[in-house]
Amino acid sequence: GENVEQHPSTLSVQEGDSAVIKCTYSDSASNYFPWYKQELGKRPQLIIDIRSNVGEKKDQRIAVTLNKTAKHFSLHITETQPEDSAVYFCAASSVYAGGTSYGKLTFGQGTILTVHP
Amino acid sequence: DTEVTQTPKHLVMGMTNKKSLKCEQHMGHRAMYWYKQKAKKPPELMFVYSYEKLSINESVPSRFSPECPNSSLLNLHLHALQPEDSALYLCASSLPGLAARLKSTDTQYFGPGTRLTVL
């Protein structure tokens, strides 16, 4: 099955700095890579995702890059703000593989991001 | 409506109780999921329903019994739980198969979760 490794497990930055979180995956059939942000006591919320036919995607201060050859993808947050503090999870999925009608997400272990004012 | 709702928000039960968790979505999604999440850990998949049929059971103990009565509702029936089953139980939904490919979206949307404590 798929295995997703996420690093670092904790990340502490000053407000305004950039933050980078990296994930590697094992299954070359994986084709969908979402990133979720989870604040304490809240639900995981999708912040950005990328599909295997795209190398990079950006949404305001957040960007994700994907290297299919190396099987790794990264989350980049620029101009960090205290409200970016949360746990971030990467995930990989071979969506609709084998004719299935659902996506089975495999999550990384999470990164606790702390942004200091 | 772009939300997945879950009830109750909190549940405390004894090991001999029977209780149910409820999840509802009105986004027309036809795939629904149950996850279990322990503190500071990622969500772990328990069950997947696709078109109201159980598609995945990740070797979950029989004290957890899922049910999908219609395309908008997902239940998780709990019986004879153990203290180690205490966790946040998350429901999620997504567009299945062809519909998602056509709309280029297969995002899983999570509900707020039920915080379960087993005494």
Minimal-distance CA residue of chain B relative to A96: B97
The CA distance from A110 to the nearest CA of chain B, in Å, is: 6
Stated length of chain A: 117
pLDDT for B104 equals: 60
Asked if the Cβ–Cβ distance from A100 to B97 is below 8 Å, we say yes
Minimal-distance CA residue of chain A relative to B88: A41
CA–CA dist B50, A103 (Å, integer): 10
H-helix or E-strand containing B103?
A: helix B97-103
pLDDT for B101 equals: 67
List chain B residues with CB under 8 Å of A94: none
First CA to last CA distance, chain A: 41
Minimal-distance CA residue of chain B relative to A110: B42
Q: For the purposes of burial, counting CB atoms within 10 Å of the CB of B56, is it exposed (0-12), middle (13-18) or buried (19 or more)?
A: middle
Asked if the Cβ–Cβ distance from B107 to A49 is below 8 Å, we say yes
For residues A62 and A75, the answer to whether their CB atoms sit within 8 Å is yes
If you ran DSSP here, which 8-state letter would residue A57 be given? E
Instruction: List the structure tokens of B90.
Output: 């998350």
The CA distance from B14 to the nearest CA of chain A, in Å, is: 23
A113 contact B CB<8A: no
Average pLDDT, chain A: 92
The CA distance from A79 to the nearest CA of chain B, in Å, is: 25
Asked if the Cβ–Cβ distance from B96 to A102 is below 8 Å, we say yes
pLDDT for B8 equals: 97
| Maximum CA extent, chain A | 48
Q: Give A91's strand partners.
A: A107
For residues B96 and B51, the answer to whether their CB atoms sit within 8 Å is yes
CA–CA dist A25, A93 (Å, integer): 10
CA–CA dist B112, B91 (Å, integer): 8
Q: Percent of chain B having pLDDT more than 90?
A: 71
Closest CA to A21 of A75, A61, A68: A75
Q: Where are the beta strands (DSSP E) in chain B?
A: 4-7, 10-13, 18-25, 31-37, 44-50, 53-57, 64-70, 73-79, 87-94, 109-110, 114-118
Give pLDDT tens digits for A48-66.
999 888 899 999 999 999 9
pLDDT for A101 equals: 66
The CA distance from A78 to the nearest CA of chain B, in Å, is: 24
Per-residue pLDDT band for B102 (boundaries 50, 70, 90) equals low
Asked if the Cβ–Cβ distance from B112 to A42 is below 8 Å, we say yes
Question: DSSP string spanning A79-111?
Answer: S--GGG-EEEEEEEB-TTGGG-SS---EE---E
Asked if the Cβ–Cβ distance from B31 to A101 is below 8 Å, we say yes
Give pLDDT tens digits for B27-75.
888 899 999 999 989 999 999 998 899 988 888 999 999 999 998 999 9
Asked if the Cβ–Cβ distance from A43 to B111 is below 8 Å, we say yes
